[in-house]
């Protein structure tokens, strides 16, 4: 496990603070896109953290559900307040207090604290997810620190709608798996924009592949609902459900080398 030096939220992987500081010219912190309510409604913790995000295959250095990571961000959290102040805890448990605001016509989030000024480009802010692109091609995915479990049954969650890929990883059993597909990543190694799967409540299954071809078959739960077996005329495979909510489905293949995160179409 590598030791991280205490930097601000958006520069955990940058060796020198000065290398990631930016000078922003703006008349005011204007929330052009209406992000403030969602951003300030939670304390945020890391779900994922990437290096080299703009490369063909980005390196995953932290994911909260993995038993091993090259970086440990389990202590990190950030809370943004509507008065423009914020509090952050870094990977070593040190607390930073500072200010925040949207800059560059609302596209970027600027944070100032005793360590410096840090700017990231907002990719997504909702009540359930916060994604940003930082300096030196780092990328963070954050979730609310306190989430209420979804009581909906596994069958209902799985079969409610079609699923498409939001992230796809190879070499997931390595220290730093490779992110080979994400819709907002123009340099993705794979193009899964046409891929889609649908689990039906009657046990039938339909899939559209990345080349646009379709396949149909059957599916069933295994291991008390923790795994899924799919059988079509062309392929049979088993995946392990690692997370399933009303709007997100994550799975791991049986040998642990491939990992997918899917969202509703």
66 burial level (CB within 10 Å; 0-12, 13-18, 19+)? middle
Q: Residue 201 sits in a domain of what CATH number?
A: 2.40.128.270
Residues 229-233: contacts with CB under 8 Å, at least 24 apart: 230/205, 232/205, 232/207
Give the domain-ending residue among 118, 144, 170: 144
Residue 168, CB half-sphere, CA atoms under 13 Å: how many? 14
How far apart are alpha carbons 119 and 137 in whole angstroms?
12
Range(s) of the domain holding residue 158: 154-264
Q: What is the pLDDT along the chain (265 residues), one digit of tens a residue?
A: 333 433 334 444 333 333 333 433 344 578 889 999 999 999 999 999 999 999 999 999 999 999 889 999 999 999 999 999 999 999 999 999 999 999 999 999 999 999 999 999 999 999 999 999 998 999 999 999 987 777 889 999 999 999 999 999 999 999 999 999 999 999 999 999 999 999 999 999 999 999 999 999 999 999 999 999 999 999 999 999 999 999 999 999 999 999 999 999 9
Give the domain-ending residue among 144, 174, 198: 144
Predicted TM-score (pTM) of the model is 0.83
- Same domain membership, residue 122 and residue 175: no
- Same domain membership, residue 238 and residue 161: yes
The secondary structure of residue 40, as a DSSP letter, is T
- Same domain membership, residue 138 and residue 192: no
Q: Pick from 15, 9, 180: which is nearest to 90 by CA?
A: 9
The secondary structure of residue 74, as a DSSP letter, is T
How far apart are alpha carbons 167 and 179 in whole angstroms?
7
């Amino acid at each position: 496990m590598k030791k991280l030096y205490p930097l601000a939220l958006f520069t955990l992987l940058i060796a020198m603070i000065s290398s990631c500081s930016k000078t922003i010219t703006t008349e005011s912190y204007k929330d052009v896109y209406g992000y403030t309510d969602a951003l300030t409604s939670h304390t945020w913790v890391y779900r994922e953290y990437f290096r080299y995000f703009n490369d063909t295959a980005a390196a995953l250095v932290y994911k909260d559900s993995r038993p091993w990571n090259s970086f440990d961000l389990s202590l990190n959290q950030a809370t943004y307040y509507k008065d423009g102040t914020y509090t952050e805890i870094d990977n070593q448990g040190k607390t930073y207090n500072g200010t925040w605001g949207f800059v560059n016509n609302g596209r970027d989030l600027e944070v100032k604290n005793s360590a410096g000024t840090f700017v990231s480009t907002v990719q997504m802010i909702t009540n359930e997810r916060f994604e940003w692109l930082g300096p030196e091609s780092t990328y963070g995915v954050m979730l609310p620190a306190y989430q209420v479990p979804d009581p909906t049954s596994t069958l209902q969650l799985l079969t409610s709608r079609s699923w498409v890929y939001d992230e796809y990883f190879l070499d997931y059993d390595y220290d730093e798996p490779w992110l080979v597909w994400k819709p907002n990543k123009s340099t993705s190694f794979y193009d899964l924009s046409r891929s889609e799967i649908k689990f039906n409540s009657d046990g039938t299954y339909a899939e559209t592949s990345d080349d646009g071809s379709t396949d149909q078959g059957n599916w069933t739960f295994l291991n008390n609902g923790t795994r899924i077996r799919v059988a079509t005329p062309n392929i049979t495979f088993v995946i392990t459900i690692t997370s399933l909510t009303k709007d997100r489905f994550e799975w791991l293949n049986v040998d642990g080398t491939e990992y997918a995160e899917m969202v509703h179409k």
